[in-house]
Structure 1
Amino acid sequence: MLTLTLNKSLRRIFALLVLCMGLGFATSSVYAADEKSSQEQARSMTGDADLWRDIKAGKAGYSTYKGVDAGVLVNVAGNEGKELRNTYLKPVFAFAFVGVFAAFLVFYFVNGPATLSKGFSGKLVFRWSKADLWIHWILAISCLVLMLTGLVIMLGRHFIAPYVGDGIWAATIAFSKFSHDWSGPIFMVSWLVCVIKWMPLQTIKLYDLKWFLVVGGYINFGPFKGKHPDSGFANAGEKMWFWSLTIFGFCISVTGVMLVFPMLDLPRIWSMLALLIHGVSAVVIVAFTIVHIWMATVLSEGGMECMVSGYCDENWASQHHNLWYDEIKANGTLKYKE
């Protein structure tokens, strides 16, 4: 009887041990599975983080489309270029338009125009041919159209779009883009003709430095008053304008072609670089164009007549371009308007 009771107790203890071992194995299996799942999830999250980090850094991946930069989801250069354009280029462009114009307006009211010290002589001297006038005005008009439409394209959303309806703004920006694109080729052709034809007249001379030192004789007060520096056919200011137009006109023409023709299929970094160079070149040309217009019109008595008729007053020639005037008198090429 005692033996039977002992055997039953041993069997129960053994069963209990087996049960405990089974529960232990089951628990450890569940824990191992959970740990494996957690590790796989962690690896997946780490992989996703690395993937998105690479994407945001502009790293190329695989794409079935084989175009330029097709495997790049995030254009880093484009984002950085857009930031530069919005943060720096737009304010500078606005200043080139408004600030330079306002500065010369203030200068005009304070200083007044550079008048002819001997007044008008009534004798008109030949200066520009009909071909020169045509080149000048075609270039000038196309340049002004590009300036105004470029202003709308770059800054219109800030000073036009908020104050007009969506329909008016859509029509305005579409017309500006169309006019900008089609004025470009006219500008480029006239620019090229201008550079080739007028470059021999724009060589830098030593006396041009003095022109800058006395501000071209345009100051009507202080120690600069009445100073009329030596100048050839083109004065130092006109030469600076010409070479600025030559250099930045080339930049704006090349980058304009890159931006207008999408079939070139350029890398995105090239397109953004072209956009930034185009904008910087536009800022320089806009600023110099405004200066040129002021200097040639309201700040220079008798200056506008030259580019309207091709003739200038004899006293204007002797005051503003004395070396050229003395030269044509000496070599017999001085020609008066009949």
Structure 2
Amino acid sequence: MYMKSLRSLIALLVIPFVLSMGLSVSAIAADEQSSQQQAGKTNDADLWRAVKAGDSGFTTDNGTEANVLINVAGNQGKELRNNYLTPVMGIAVVGVFVAFLFFYLVNGPSKLSKGFSGKMLQRWTKADLWIHWVMASSCMALIFTGLNIMLGKHILQPWVGEGIWAALIYGSKTIHDWVGPIFIVSWALCVVKWMPMQTFKMYDLKWFLVVGGYVNFGPFKGKHPDSGFANAGEKMWFWALAIFGLFIVVSGLMLVLPGLELPREASMAALLIHGISAIIIIAFTIVHIWMATVLSEGGMECMMSGYCDENWAAQHHNVWYDEIKENNSIVYKD
């Protein structure tokens, strides 16, 4: 009887102790599991924070920047292009065109004060004409395809079907890539051949002050400033083409040559430089076309046949005309 009572007492003492130990072990295990889960969440957050920040990891791939999952510079460059570069390009195209249209409607073309003489003298050689028109044609092809690539999704895509848009954007990209080398060669020939005639002189400053003599009203009316073979506006256009054309050529090659394997930062910088340079070239091209076609009476004939009217030469390029007249080097058209 005594032994039975003793066993009962021991059981009463041991059972609570075992239960309390079990509860303690369970609490410790639950706490460790919770800590591990919290640590896992923290590690995941740190990992994705690093990935989004552009941190590099480890990979067996040997490609350029293959160890970077998200390139921050690429995303930032895309935002700059979409939010700033594309709108500026649209404003530049429309703004410059509208400004010169308004000027033409108000001012009219620049007439020859003495009219046409009927005597045509040589201004450009056949080689010059070929270089000009090959470069002009390739440049216009690049401008229109480039505008479609940059602005087409905002202007054309909403109005055409998916199939037509796909063909347009694919065709623009293909033409842009294949016409590029033609522009590069003609641009290089143009720069090398015409650079000696593009140095600025002191009288070029007056050309800007009187707006080249193209204004038909007010105090500038009838003011025909001195000008050499190229006037100050043509010189400014040439150097814009030479400098920003170089940027376009180099950045374009960086974008289309697959063997370069450039870092994403370099590729995005090349894309932005290409776009900015293109905006400047497009603006100058619009001005150049306006000046050569409707604003200068007799001006277009120069680049069509290579010959200009003698009165046109005397009015718009008097310094050059006086030089060839004094040197007796005028070549008249038969």
Shorter-chain TM-score bucket reads over 0.9
Matched, 1:153 2:149: yes
**Residue correspondence of structure 1 range 60-209 to structure 2 within 5 A:** 60-209=56-205
How far residue 12 of structure 1 moved from its aligned partner, in angstroms, is: 4.2
| AA of the residue aligned to 2:121 | V
Unpaired segments of 5 or more residues in structure 2? Answer: none
The CA RMSD over aligned residues, in Å, is 1.4
In 1, the alpha carbon distance for the partners of 2:215 and 2:49 equals: 60
Equivalence for 1:288: 284
SS of equivalent to 2:302: helix
In 1, the alpha carbon distance for the partners of 2:13 and 2:326 equals: 128
TM-score (norm 2): 0.97
SS of equivalent to 1:113: coil
Equivalence for 1:304: 300
Q: Comparing 175-184 with 298-307, which one deviates more in the overlay?
A: 175-184
| Deviation by residue 1:224-257 (Cα, 9 ceiling, x = unmatched) | 1111111100001000000000011111111111
SS of equivalent to 1:125: strand
| AA of the residue aligned to 1:106 | F
In 1, the alpha carbon distance for the partners of 2:90 and 2:258 equals: 28
TM-score (norm 1): 0.96
In 2, the alpha carbon distance for the partners of 1:24 and 1:206 equals: 102
Equivalence for 1:211: 207
| Deviation by residue 1:96-122 (Cα, 9 ceiling, x = unmatched) | 222211111111101111111111111
SS of equivalent to 2:57: coil
In 1, the alpha carbon distance for the partners of 2:8 and 2:99 equals: 106
Across the two proteins, how many residue pairs are aligned to each other? 334
| Deviation by residue 1:118-168 (Cα, 9 ceiling, x = unmatched) | 111111121101110110000000000000011111111111111111111
In 2, the alpha carbon distance for the partners of 1:158 and 1:337 equals: 50
How far residue 260 of structure 1 moved from its aligned partner, in angstroms, is: 1.2
| AA of the residue aligned to 1:114 | S
Matched, 1:275 2:271: yes
SS of equivalent to 1:80: helix
In 2, the alpha carbon distance for the partners of 1:175 and 1:67 equals: 29
Equivalence for 1:39: 35
Equivalence for 1:56: 52
In 1, the alpha carbon distance for the partners of 2:12 and 2:224 equals: 118
In 1, the alpha carbon distance for the partners of 2:321 and 2:330 equals: 8
Equivalence for 1:313: 309
| AA of the residue aligned to 1:214 | V
| Deviation by residue 1:53-82 (Cα, 9 ceiling, x = unmatched) | 110011111112110010110011110000
| Deviation by residue 1:279-305 (Cα, 9 ceiling, x = unmatched) | 111101100000001011101111001
